[in-house]
Structure 1
Amino acid sequence: MTVEENLYQPRSRTVFRATKLLVGCYLGISVLTLVAIVLLRGDAALVTDAVWVRVVIVVASALLMFVSAVRTARGSRRAYRRLRILSGVMLVAIAVILAVPGAFPLWLKIEQGVCGLVLLGVAALVNGKHLRAVFAVG
């Protein structure tokens, strides 16, 4: 079977749908967090410079991941590779944020923990046996 034929198998469609849903949740949480820091920007204890930098990076990565998830579902190997790499890199970055004491406020660590759980699902799906097999064909 070709990649194109594998894309339309019921299992593939289910995995792509779940991946796009999870990445969409990650993007939604990230955008809402950006809105929150804009609204709370006057409170230096809640919104530090590090928070601004981190949240902007997260929104940018979430947007790139969402575009990659959509393109992956259309059969793009490059987008699939990008999605695998980004989900792994962002999981490591979240683990560092959660582990480093005092670098970020507790509320952001909680938000990042939630994002990490969502990305764990994404990483499991895109690194799973099924999608690796779909994109190994060709």
Structure 2
Amino acid sequence: MTLPSLADRVWCRLRLDRLAGGRQAGYVIRQDMLAHPDTVRSFRWIRWLLVAETVVGLAAIVIAIVLTHVGQTVPWAVWFRATVVLLITLTLYVFAWRAQLGYYWAYQRLRLFSRVFPIVTLIIAAIPGLYPFWMVVEQILFSVLMVGIGDVLTSDHMRSTFPKPVRRPAP
């Protein structure tokens, strides 16, 4: 048994799709659309962008550790932000994993977060004196990568691959 299939079995046994996806938890797109070369290529790009997000997040923590080690005071906001970026990125990995398996809810969450997080991040980065310059640069890089993920997710192909579920009339 491979690690992805084991992870999927554990995830399903815990019914986490139902918890995370709500009413749309069971809606999965057609298998032929998942196997389409453009879909495969899109998810490959998303994975690479998430890896870059992880590198940016880890770099922020390493910089903060080095600065603390050499005696500089690193504000609490920097530690908080660096930790939150890594946690957000881990969440996005989960959404990308479930979306790649065809779950509409995960595609929608990933798409939503790729739109919201860059805006929030840039607004926070614009607050004067909250973060040192290097952290502002980190936030801009994070936002650019998130916009890249959003761009891939909102391509014509991906929007047609993940059509909105049709609502069933109430009985």
- Report the TM range for the smaller structure's normalisation: 0.7 to 0.9
Q: Which residue of 2 aligns with 1:27?
A: 54
Whether 1:5 aligns to 2:32 is yes
TM-score (norm 1): 0.88
Whether 1:65 aligns to 2:73 is no
Q: Which residue of 1 aligns with 2:66?
A: 39
* 1:103 partner amino acid: L
Secondary structure of the residue aligned to 1:40 is helix
Q: Which residue of 2 aligns with 1:134?
A: 161
CA 1:15–1:49: 2 relative to 1, 3 Å: same
In 2, are the aligned partners of 1:125 and 1:131 still within 8 Å (CA)? yes
Over the aligned positions, Cα root-mean-square deviation in angstroms equals: 1.7
Whether 1:16 aligns to 2:30 is no
* 1:6 partner amino acid: M
Separation (CA, whole Å) in 2 of partners of 1:107 and 1:32: 11
Identical pairs, percent: 28
Separation (CA, whole Å) in 2 of partners of 1:20 and 1:80: 13
CA 1:113–1:137: 2 relative to 1, 3 Å: closer
In 2, are the aligned partners of 1:33 and 1:55 still within 8 Å (CA)? yes
Q: Which residue of 2 aligns with 1:108?
A: 135
Aligned-residue offset at 1:8 = 0.5
Aligned-residue offset at 1:103 = 1.3
Runs of 4+ in 1 over 2 A off after TM superposition: 38-42
Aligned-residue offset at 1:35 = 2.6
Aligned-residue offset at 1:87 = 1.4
Q: Which residue of 2 aligns with 1:50?
A: 77
Aligned-residue offset at 1:107 = 0.5
Aligned-residue offset at 1:124 = 0.7
Q: Which residue of 1 aligns with 2:146?
A: 119
Partner deviation per Cα, 1:92-126 (whole Å, 9 max, x = no partner): 12211232221111010011111211111111111
Separation (CA, whole Å) in 2 of partners of 1:31 and 1:70: 21
* 1:13 partner amino acid: V
Corresponding pairs, count: 135
Aligned-residue offset at 1:137 = 6.5
TM-score (norm 2): 0.72
